[in-house]
Structure 1
Amino acid sequence: MTKHAVPASGRGWSVGKMLGFSFASVLLIVAVLSLSSFNGVSTLLSTSEELIVANETDAAMAQLEVDHLLWAQNLSFVFTDSAVNEVTVQKDPTLCNLGKWLVSEERERLEAGHPNTSGMIARMVPWHERLHQSAVEIDHHCKAGEANSEEAKAIFSKKSIPALRNLQGLLQDIREDVAKHSVTDEKLVAEAGEQRALIVVFVSVCVVASVCIAFLVTSKVKKMLVSTSRSIAQASEAVASAAQQVEKGSRSVAESSSEQASTLEETAAAMEEVSSQTSSNLEKAQKTGAYTTDTIGAIDETNQSLAELKEKITGLFDSSKEIQKVVQTIDEIAFQTNLLALNASVEAARAGEAGAGFSVVADEVRALAQRAASSAKETGEMIDESVVKIGESNEFVQRCSESFDHVLQTSTSVRSLVDQVVVASEEQSQGIGQINVSLVQMDKVVQSNASGAEESASAAVEMARLAGELEMQVHRLQRFAGESAQARTPKVELSAAAPVAFDDYPVRGRAASPTLASLN
């Protein structure tokens, strides 16, 4: 099977790295665009706030100027309107709008944003107080009935009007200074245009960069997918070819195993005949071997053994008598133990709960005593039976002695027959052993071949299935990569004329055949 080289496109960045790079690039572009937009909007907001503050300050100064002009006009009514005989304007400099503004936070913010106005405001305070003080002096003349006196008019013309003009001049200076150091509407519009142009440029650059990155990454991924799909298609073809070769090899092995199984059947039939003859010879050897084993191995020691047996039987009879005495003693001890356990149970019952545990122990001791008595009784009965059997054994030994004399006479005639049968059986046994070893080896080889053929066939089927699945995945990958799947991977088709069914061959179960089983 040929090995397919890894495509060159797979040696660079992986798909995951390229996608990660593209996403990171897009995020970086979005971040840069967002940062530039935020910076531009922040600049516009700062400029707008500065312009709003300047406009509010200008409007406030203009309103204060208008208020005091109206204040002076109302004060002049004392001299121009005969119906007015008192001063109705605010005479306290701290209660008018300007007086309230001088002690407000708006003044502090103005001085903080425009330090040049601090001196102007400081110079404005005495003029403001002088203006309101002139109203107080004019009010004294009105209350004295001297509203149109020359002195009252002089106060208005020499104190009120100059103070008002100086106050107007300082308010105008403050407005001019604020306007001079603040952003104008034209500048705000210009900055907004610059920020819009900058954002348009940034957006254009980001869009072009994103399109380029997307095109490069898509092209690279597509090339990798196409190359990979082609490599997989080639591998699928190789797998299909290998599956067909494996299937052919499995079929060849199966046919060979069938032929070997037939030969093994013929050999097994021949071995059945040999086995029958061997069984007949072995029967003769077993019958004669019983005679020779009894005679050759035991005749020389029979007489001495019988004498020793008689002595041992006599000693066994005496020992049985002694054992009977011991059993009687055990029976008596068990009886006394039973009585003691019974007394202990009675005493434990009298003791109540304190003797409950001892009562259980006493019951167990009593049960053990009863079991010991029962065992002693059974042992005595067995010993009695043994004594009877010992007597019978003594008689049997006597009869055996007579039988051995007869065996000694027949062993001589049987020995020659045994020697002939043993020699023939040994020769046949050696031949059968060699044949048996060969058959066992042949059977193992046949089984191994059959097992290998079965595994190979299963592997071929599995490889065929995997080749089909691999073909489907290749087509999906090709469709995903945008490549037309014209070169289709050929499907694996195993031969259906003679399927590899190993259960049909006689090789299966050969080790369990009666012929080989009898030989083993």
Structure 2
Amino acid sequence: MFSARWFKGIRGKLLLLVTIPFAVIAVLYYEAGQGISALQKSLNQANLVRGPSINYTGKMAKESESLQRYVLNAVTAKSEEDTHTEITKALGSIEAFDKAMEEYEKIPHGGATAAIFGDIIKLWSQAKPTAQVAVEKLRTGNKVQAHDVLENQYRPVATEMSKKLQELSDLRLKLMLDDSNTDAALIAQTEQIVDWVGVIGLVVSVAFSAWVIHNLNSQLSAAVNALSENSSNILHASKQLYATSEQVAEGSTESAASIEETVASLEEVNSMVKVNSESGQKAAQFAEEAVRQAERGQAEIEKLIHAMAEIEGSSKQIQDIIKMIDDIAFQTNILSLNATIEAARAGEQGRGFSAVAEAVRKLSQDSVAAAQNIADLIHKSSEKIQTGSRSAYESSQVFKDINHTIHKVAQMSQEVSQASNEQALGVDQINKAMNQLDTSTQVNSAASEEVAVSAQELSSQAVGLQNVVATLEQILDGRRHEVHSDAPVSLKKSLTLARPILVKAS
């Protein structure tokens, strides 16, 4: 996918344009190499198989004929020395024939040549012993028997073997001729392929070159038109950006002044909020102290109520005791009356007892009166104690209400203090944010100046881009369009629009 996109560009097309001739050369080199390789293989076959096979076949035929000649020369020789010389030559021919046959066996062969060579091996296995017998006869001086062995045993086999050797030689020559024809056809085919590949490569190269040139011309023309249009748009946009940056710089200056005033007001509000927060904290402390005092007073009232309850219980016990005393005095009074009656009945003898009874009755009456007085006092005290208990209970309820109210006041004071702290924190954060905003406004003001400078530089670059476009048009068409542009106004005024404002963060 990446390679497909890459070849759509100019570099890819130029590279492809250069690659095609090299590809054609590579194909030509490959085809020529294939032909040369085949010819080299055929040459190796000729050097290693065809030539040696014909050579060794000729040697075997020559040595077979020479063997017959040497034996005949030995038979007809006049002296023993000549006979011995010819015998030595005959033995050399036998040895040379064996060596040629051995070398031929090393050569790769098959099919018809292998069958004929097999027949030659069989015939030589028959001819060689007869030749050796003839030579042995010559050594012993039996030339007639040697001649008879040569003519009747060796010559028929040798003649047949010579025919087989001739047949093998003819077959090898025919195979060599066939290989030569094949090599000639291969050379012709290689030349034809090279010619066709060269022609096709030339046609493809010319056609692709024309297409690439046309395509590059179209793309460059489209790019030049696009660059021309874009450079005009950039020049127009740079002018608008310059005007906008000046407006932003003026607005940033005004915003910085307003933010400075706002930060000063926030500092005053922050001071007031801090004072309120401190007052709220003190009020919360006083409320907490009042809560503690109210809780202490409520505890004392509860102790008083408990003591009044104990006193009321004791007064009830005293009333019961007085009631018991009253009952005892009443019983004593009755007993004293009974004693008086009994003393009256006793007459003179009971007179002293009657006086005692009278004294006891009087004492009981006094006890009853005293007990009644004490009961009245106890009753009044009990009523006062009950009244005091009710007052103490009511005071306790009042203290509970006061304590509850003080708790609410303390809670509200705490909430007010916490709210004041949070408000102070919020105001402080707002103050910091305003300081940051003021810093950002100053940065924006400076950035506006830089944008204005960049807009002027962009306008200059746009003019330079239009000059590049004109140069490209001259390269493509041979004609150049003049470039006209209006430079933006000077930035000296805009450089003094925004002034730095320093705000002290509290």
**TM-score between the two structures when normalised by the length of structure 1:** 0.50
Structure 2 counterpart of 1:77:
73
For residues 51-88 of structure 1, the C-alpha deviation after alignment (integer angstroms, 9 at most, x for no partner) is: 44223322221122223323332232213431323311
Q: Measure, in 1, the Cα distance between the counterparts of 2:165 and 2:149.
A: 23
C-alpha contact 1:247 1:460 (8 A) present in aligned 2: yes
- CA 1:501–1:134: 2 relative to 1, 3 Å: same
Q: Measure, in 2, the Cα distance between the counterparts of 1:250 and 1:29.
A: 61
Q: Measure, in 1, the Cα distance between the counterparts of 2:443 and 2:152.
A: 136
C-alpha contact 1:233 1:489 (8 A) present in aligned 2: no
Letter in 1 for 2:190: Q
Equivalence map 1:55-74=2 (5 Å): 55-74=51-70
For residues 155-178 of structure 1, the C-alpha deviation after alignment (integer angstroms, 9 at most, x for no partner) is: 222233333322211111112222
Q: Measure, in 1, the Cα distance between the counterparts of 2:451 and 2:92.
A: 117
- Residue of structure 1 aligned with 2:480, choices 465, 483, 486: 486
- CA 1:488–1:67: 2 relative to 1, 3 Å: farther
Matched, 1:118 2:96: no
- CA 1:62–1:215: 2 relative to 1, 3 Å: same
Give the root-mean-square deviation of aligned CA atoms.
4.5
For residues 295-321 of structure 1, the C-alpha deviation after alignment (integer angstroms, 9 at most, x for no partner) is: xxxxxxxxxxxxxxxxxxxxxxxxxxx
- CA 1:472–1:79: 2 relative to 1, 3 Å: farther
Q: Measure, in 2, the Cα distance between the counterparts of 1:141 and 1:452.
A: 129
For residues 312-369 of structure 1, the C-alpha deviation after alignment (integer angstroms, 9 at most, x for no partner) is: xxxxxxxxxxxxxxxxxxxxxxxxxxxxxxxxxxxxxxxxxxxxxxxxxxxxxxxxxx
- Residue of structure 1 aligned with 2:105, choices 104, 107, 110: 107
Letter in 2 for 1:508: R
Matched, 1:242 2:241: no
C-alpha contact 2:242 2:455 (8 A) present in aligned 1: yes
Once the two structures are overlaid, the 10-residue window that deviates more, 246-255 or 455-464, is 246-255
Q: Measure, in 2, the Cα distance between the counterparts of 1:250 and 1:139.
A: 127
Give 1:23 shift: 7.0
Give 1:205 shift: 0.9
- Residue of structure 2 aligned with 1:152, choices 146, 154, 163: 146
Give 1:25 shift: 5.9
Letter in 1 for 2:97: L
Give 1:202 shift: 1.4
Equivalence map 1:268-283=2 (5 Å): none
- CA 1:252–1:85: 2 relative to 1, 3 Å: closer
C-alpha contact 1:120 1:174 (8 A) present in aligned 2: yes
Structure 2 counterpart of 1:372:
none
- CA 1:164–1:469: 2 relative to 1, 3 Å: farther
Q: Measure, in 2, the Cα distance between the counterparts of 1:176 and 1:188.
A: 20
Aligned length: 316
Structure 1 counterpart of 2:416:
none
Q: Measure, in 2, the Cα distance between the counterparts of 1:449 and 1:97.
A: 112
- CA 1:66–1:103: 2 relative to 1, 3 Å: closer
Identity level (%) = 15
Equivalence map 1:91-490=2 (5 Å): 91=91, 96-104=95-103, 106-107=104-105, 109-112=107-110, 115-147=111-143, 149=144, 151-182=145-176, 183-247=178-242, 454-468=449-463, 470-471=465-466, 474=469, 482-484=476-478, 486-490=480-484
C-alpha contact 2:249 2:494 (8 A) present in aligned 1: yes
C-alpha contact 1:65 1:168 (8 A) present in aligned 2: yes
Counterpart secondary structure, 1:85: helix
Counterpart secondary structure, 1:223: helix
Matched, 1:508 2:504: no
Q: Measure, in 2, the Cα distance between the counterparts of 1:257 and 1:38.
A: 80
- CA 1:66–1:214: 2 relative to 1, 3 Å: same
Q: Measure, in 1, the Cα distance between the counterparts of 2:116 and 2:61.
A: 15
**TM-score between the two structures when normalised by the length of structure 2:** 0.51
Counterpart secondary structure, 1:486: coil
Counterpart secondary structure, 1:111: coil
- CA 1:89–1:128: 2 relative to 1, 3 Å: farther
C-alpha contact 1:127 1:163 (8 A) present in aligned 2: yes
- CA 1:488–1:166: 2 relative to 1, 3 Å: farther
Q: Measure, in 2, the Cα distance between the counterparts of 1:156 and 1:210.
A: 78
C-alpha contact 1:467 1:491 (8 A) present in aligned 2: no
C-alpha contact 2:53 2:107 (8 A) present in aligned 1: no
- CA 1:145–1:34: 2 relative to 1, 3 Å: closer
Q: Measure, in 2, the Cα distance between the counterparts of 1:256 and 1:129.
A: 125
Structure 1 counterpart of 2:269:
none
Structure 1 gap segments, 5+ residues each: 1-9, 269-442
Structure 2 gap segments, 5+ residues each: 262-437
- CA 1:91–1:447: 2 relative to 1, 3 Å: closer
Counterpart secondary structure, 1:487: coil
Give 1:189 shift: 2.7
